[in-house]
């Protein structure tokens, strides 16, 4: 298969496996979704949903989060990875949203990236999932699988994002982002597959005999 044929195969199979992918992070509005995505870095979605259940009862807006304060935010999220750093970022982000954006979450990636703790991937997830605007967030799962499936050379996360945007139709970016993550978690994990084991890898490269080395994100 050439790259386009591999992409079509991947998309068809992912649609069969995950026909209506839903974002796994619980939220109430744009602000709580932003905070949930921020918290998900180096933390499982399950853990994020556990800690935000009580946090969002107390604070579901930038004003309420700022009033809560960094120490109390930390107490709610301390079981998440990088909790001290995230608590500080959540308070700083809440303050900026109030001062610069009238308490609203901006809809543009460039504006979101200016918020503390919000990188390009987090901004892309918010824009794609909540505001329904074209974006293709690339996390470690997607970066790894895109290399294993021959959809990118894997030199960088940015390059992977650009390559996937080129090969897949814009209207499918949102679903594919979630579908690839779900597939990676279930069937093509970092240690569970080496490019020769899971269904997708074996189907795309039936003659591959050696492990596929992938560059890290």
CA angle at 193 for the pair 190 and 194, rounded to the nearest 5°: 90
Q: Residue 194 catalytic? A: no
Which of 46, 139, 213, 216 is catalytic? The answer is 139
Q: Residue 163 catalytic? A: no
Residue from 150, 126, 153 nearest 137 by CA: 126
Contact (CB, 8 A) for 187 and 200: yes
Q: What is the DSSP string of 178-190?
A: HHHHHHHHHT--T
CA atoms lying within 13 Å on the CB side of residue 194: 6
Radius of gyration of the chain measured on its C-alpha atoms: 18
Which of 13, 26, 88, 121 is catalytic? The answer is 121
Residues annotated as catalytic (active site), given as ranges: 121, 139
């Amino acid at each position: 298969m050439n790259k386009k044929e591999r992409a079509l195969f991947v998309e068809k199979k992912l649609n069969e496996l995950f026909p209506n992918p839903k974002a796994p992070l619980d939220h109430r509005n744009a602000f709580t979704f932003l905070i949930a995505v921020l918290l998900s870095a180096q933390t499982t979605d399950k853990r994020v949903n556990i800690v935000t259940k009580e946090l969002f009862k107390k604070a579901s807006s930038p004003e309420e989060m700022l009033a809560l304060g960094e120490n109390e935010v930390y107490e709610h999220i301390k079981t998440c990875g990088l909790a001290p750093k995230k608590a500080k970022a959540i308070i700083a982000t809440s303050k900026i949203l109030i001062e610069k954006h009238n308490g609203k979450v901006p809809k543009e990636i460039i504006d979101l990236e200016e918020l503390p703790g919000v990188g390009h991937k987090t901004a892309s997830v918010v824009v794609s999932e909540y505001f329904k605007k074209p974006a293709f967030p690339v996390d470690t799962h997607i970066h790894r699988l895109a290399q294993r499936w021959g959809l990118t050379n894997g030199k960088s996360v940015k390059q992977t994002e650009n390559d996937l945007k080129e090969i897949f139709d814009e209207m499918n970016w949102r679903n594919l982002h979630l579908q690839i993550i779900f597939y990676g978690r279930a069937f093509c994990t970092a240690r569970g597959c080496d490019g020769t084991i899971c269904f997708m890898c074996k189907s795309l490269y039936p003659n591959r005999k050696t492990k596929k080395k992938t560059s890290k994100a």
